Amino acid sequence: MLREPEELQQILDLDLKDCGEPQEKLLKRCRNVIRYSVKTCHPRFFNQLFSGLDHHALAGRLITEMLNTSQYTYEIAPVFVLMEEVVLKKLRELIGWKKGDGIFCPGGSISNMYAMNVARFHCFPDCKQKGNWAIPKLAAFTSQEVCSPFKKGAAFLGIGTDNVYLVAVDENHMAPVIVLLAHYENIFSPPMPVLVVLPFQGALPFFVNATCGTTVLGAFDPVAKIAEVCARHRVWLHVDVMARLFFCFPHRADSVAWNPHKMLMTGLQCSAFLLQDSSGLLQRCHCAKATYLFQTDKFYDMAYDKGDQTIQCGRKVDCFKLWLMWKANGTKGLEQRVDRAFSFTRCALGCKSGANGPEFINLCFWYVPPSLRGQEGCTDYSLRLGKVAPVIKEQMMKKGSMMVGYQPHGDRVNFFRQVVTNPAVTREDLNFFLDEIERLGRDL
């Protein structure tokens, strides 16, 4: 059960003191940390896009923590440097790229930000040295469904959040080809033979993001069609992938962000930024050539020192947990895990076999309490319906029975979003989930 912050602070006694404490007391503290933390691997945790626990990935995480090395040079992380290359190559192959580059990043938002930075550098290499003063005002595009990582990126990179243009989606929230094409063609027409030079509200379009599996509704942008438009106008196409890679054909993208820490349960964090370029763009874009790390007179091939490809200096090892999990399950085993998540969603929706199933695994729904049933025509119906999910959520949190997320979306009032990625979830858990919502909400 979730306690109020003041109460929890009191229980935990978090203040740091001058003198150390005996082991027994520390053990008790560790027990308390576990006791009062949310167990995201619990089969009744449906709150996030990540959940569950893969034991092989966990073993990888523990070993990584124990070895406590940094991924930046071959000399300090020989095994993991070689391993990262193998994993990234395999991921690129799944996309359908024969060559390319990439890096593991601290999360999807950062991977998306990398994409914006590399795209900007690709258009305007001078920007790295001279800053935004040396280049025109830029415009980036993403659908209104997934904007926050790109707004954060635009703010961080000095592009400005006002210069992230949000593309409208249709009533199914699945950015239809027609709408997108019209939108992009309006922006980019007439077709330009070189990098986009057409001003858009005084800014130059340089970056388009397409999403495969949007955060709330799990919708898919039509990547292949968007790729056609981007290729025609030589604009960098980035694809933010939540789903399995081959599911959305991002091979025509310039870069891809893919997050095994979500559907695949590698554990936080495991997020790959992949790009098709193999000319060293990533290195040129980020390198600072620190002489204490990247000496040019080492006895081995310096190409193995990948650390200058990133904006970080020290970098955690994120490839091992995925590698070990992949070795244990094989590609087929990982695919089955994704298939299972889909079949749970189909099951929760009551889909018959053969019938058209859900596009993805996000299950979004309202719980309508008996007092509101049949009241759809009333003027305050939406207002009252929007208050149901927060109250049910508060009750389940205080009781500690389960966790599921809710949010408003456009003109839709608060609704629940359930995502089942944890293979430990059983049919009984799914039944409990629905019954518990009913129990907590029937008297509202």
User: Contact residues for ligand PLP (CB under 6 A)?
Assistant: 49, 107-109, 146, 149, 211, 214-215, 240, 242, 259, 271
- Outline where 124-176 has alpha helix (H): 127-130, 148-156
Residue among 215 and 421 whose Cβ is closer to ligand PLP: 215
Residue among 215 and 276 whose Cβ is closer to ligand PLP: 215
Closest by CA to 210, choosing from 189, 226, 230, is 226
Phi/psi for 403 (5° steps) reads -140, 130
- Minimum Å gap between C-beta 118 and ligand PLP is 17
- Minimum Å gap between C-beta 153 and ligand PLP is 10
Instruction: Say if residues 103 and 306 touch (Cβ distance below 8 Å).
Output: yes
Residue among 73 and 142 whose Cβ is closer to ligand PLP: 142
Q: Which residues contact residue 297 at a Cβ distance below 8 angstroms, ignoring those fewer than 6 apart?
A: none
HEC string for 27-41: HHHHHHHHHCCCCCC
Instruction: Say if residues 88 and 271 touch (Cβ distance below 8 Å).
Output: no
Residue among 43 and 108 whose Cβ is closer to ligand PLP: 108
- Minimum Å gap between C-beta 108 and ligand PLP is 3
- Minimum Å gap between C-beta 217 and ligand PLP is 10
Phi/psi for 298 (5° steps) reads -75, 160
**Distances from the Cα of 127 to the Cαs of 42, 121, 146, in angstroms?**
47, 6, 26
- Minimum Å gap between C-beta 215 and ligand PLP is 3
Amino acid (one-letter) located at 367: Y
- Minimum Å gap between C-beta 427 and ligand PLP is 27
Residue among 146 and 281 whose Cβ is closer to ligand PLP: 146
Residue among 43 and 218 whose Cβ is closer to ligand PLP: 218
Amino acid (one-letter) located at 64: T
- Minimum Å gap between C-beta 49 and ligand PLP is 5
Residue among 73 and 117 whose Cβ is closer to ligand PLP: 117
Closest by CA to 214, choosing from 182, 243, 246, 179, is 243
Question: With 0-12 CB in 10 A as exposed, 13-18 as middle and 19+ as buried, what is 187?
Answer: buried
Show the beta-strand stretches assigned E in 57-116: 101-105
Q: Which residues contact residue 176 at a Cβ distance below 8 angstroms, ignoring those fewer than 6 apart?
A: 169, 170, 222
Instruction: Say if residues 72 and 80 touch (Cβ distance below 8 Å).
Output: no
Closest residue by beta carbon to ligand PLP: 108
Residue among 271 and 276 whose Cβ is closer to ligand PLP: 271
- Minimum Å gap between C-beta 47 and ligand PLP is 12
Residue among 243 and 392 whose Cβ is closer to ligand PLP: 243
**Distances from the Cα of 372 to the Cαs of 376, 380, 416, in angstroms?**
8, 10, 17
- Token pair of 76 as six digits: 């300090």
- Minimum Å gap between C-beta 234 and ligand PLP is 25
Query: By three-state DSSP, how is residue 104 classified?
Result: strand
Query: By three-state DSSP, how is residue 191 classified?
Result: coil
Count H helices, E strands: the chain?
15, 11
- Minimum Å gap between C-beta 341 and ligand PLP is 15
Residue among 318 and 429 whose Cβ is closer to ligand PLP: 318
Rounded-to-integer distance, Cα 20 and Cα 13, Å: 14
